[in-house]
Amino acid sequence: MNRDAGVPLWGWACCCGLALLALIGATLGVTSATLSRVNSLPTSGTVYRSHVLYDFASLGYGVEGVVIGPDGAMYVTTALTFGAAVNDTRPVWRFEADHHTPTRYAELPTTYGCSGCDFDQHGNLYVVCNTGSPATGTGKLVKIGPGASSIDLNFVSRAASQFSGVVSDRRALLYLTDRLNDVIYTVNASGSLAVWSNDTQFATPVPFGLNDININPIEPAIYTVVTVFPPPAHSKLLRVAIESDGSAAAAQTVSFGSALADGFDGLSAVRNNRFLYFTASDLVASERASVIVYDTFSRETIVLIKESSSTLVPSDVVDGQFFGANQKFKDNFYVIDFFRTSAPTSGVIVYTPV
C-alpha cells in the first residue's frame, strides 16, 4: 500500500544525477527534506525495540492490512473475527498519531474478509475483501468516501476470484491483484476491470499466490509479492515494468543472491518510492519473522528487523514517515501481526530504533 504513489514518469527510468532527482521530487510533490534522506539505505546494524501498539486479538479481531492516509492517520483492515467478536462487523480501524486506541472508521459486513488497502488522491479508501471459500468465493473491492461519508461495498465484485492487494497511482488508476486467477487488473474510476498482466510467474496454488502490490512511479514499475509457503518452496518479489503505453512488460524476479527469507507477504513503498519494505514470516538461520528492505536504485536488499517469536505472522508493514504531521515517528515501523489460530495473536507492533 502506497502513501506516495504518483503518475508514471515515462522515459525517466534510467535518468540519474542530483539535479534530475530534485526535478523528479518536485514533480511528485516531495520536499527537499525527503530528498535528503533518499540516498541513505537503512542499515541492518540498527537495533530496534518493539512493543504492541494495540492488541486486537484480545478483543476478537484478526487484522491484516495497513496504510497511512493523506490525513496522517493509520488505517488497519479486519480479516476475521472470533470469540467475543465472532458476530461483529469487520471494521476498518483508524489510529491518530500519539493515540494508542483506534476508532472504528467504517463498518464492513461480517462476511467480508479484508486485507490490502490504499487511498487515491481524492481521499477515497479502497479495501480489498473476499467472501466465501478461497477456491470459489467472490472478490470485492470496497470504496470508502473521504471521512467514511459513503461506502460502496460492490465498487468491484467478481465471482470466482480471490483479491489480495491494491494500489492507486495519482491518476486514480488502481492496480488490483487476484491470486485465484493469477492476474493483475487495472480498475478505472467507474470500477471497470481490465486485465493488465497475467504473467506465468504469478501462478501459485491458493490459498497463497499473488499477494500485495505497490508502484514505483520513478522507474516506472509495479512490484508485487508472490507468497509461497512453507519451504522448500520459495516466495518471490516480482518487478513488472510499465511500458510507455501503460501496458505491462514481462515480470522479472528480483534476485537476492541467496536464500534470504521466505513467506513474503505485505509490501509497502516508502522513502520517496525508492525503498520497498516487505514482510517475511520465515527467515534463514531459524529466524521467524522480519521486515526486509529492497533498494530499487542500487538493487541492494537487507534484512532490517528480525524476530525470533514463533507466534508473530507479519502480514503488512508501513513506516512512520507520514504518520502524524511533524515526522515524529519517521524512523518507526508498524507491522501487522496476522491471526494465528494455535495461539491467538493479532495486532499492531511498533518497532523503534534504539
Q: What is the pLDDT of residues 54-103, one digit of tens each?
A: 999 999 999 999 999 999 999 999 999 999 999 999 999 999 998 889 99
Which of 135-149, 202-216, 265-279, 339-353 is the most confident on average?
135-149
Look up cell 525508492; give the residue. 274
The percent of residues in the chain predicted with pLDDT above 70, rounded, is: 79
Residue range 32-49: average pLDDT?
A: 54
Say whether pTM exceeds 0.95: no
All structural domains of the chain: 18-43+64-270 (2.120.10.30)
d(CA 281, CA 306): 10
Candidate from 83-97, 153-167, 177-191, 266-280 with smallest mean pLDDT: 266-280
Look at residue 24 and tell me whether its pLDDT is greater than 50. Answer: no
pLDDT at 339: 74
86 vs 273: which has the higher pLDDT: 86
CB 302 within 8 A of CB 324: no
**For 128-163, what is each residue's pLDDT tens digit?**
999 998 888 999 999 999 999 999 999 999 999 999
Look at residue 31 and tell me whether its pLDDT is greater than 50. Answer: no
> 98-101 long-range CB contacts below 8 Å, 24 or more apart?
98/324, 98/328, 100/53, 100/54, 101/54
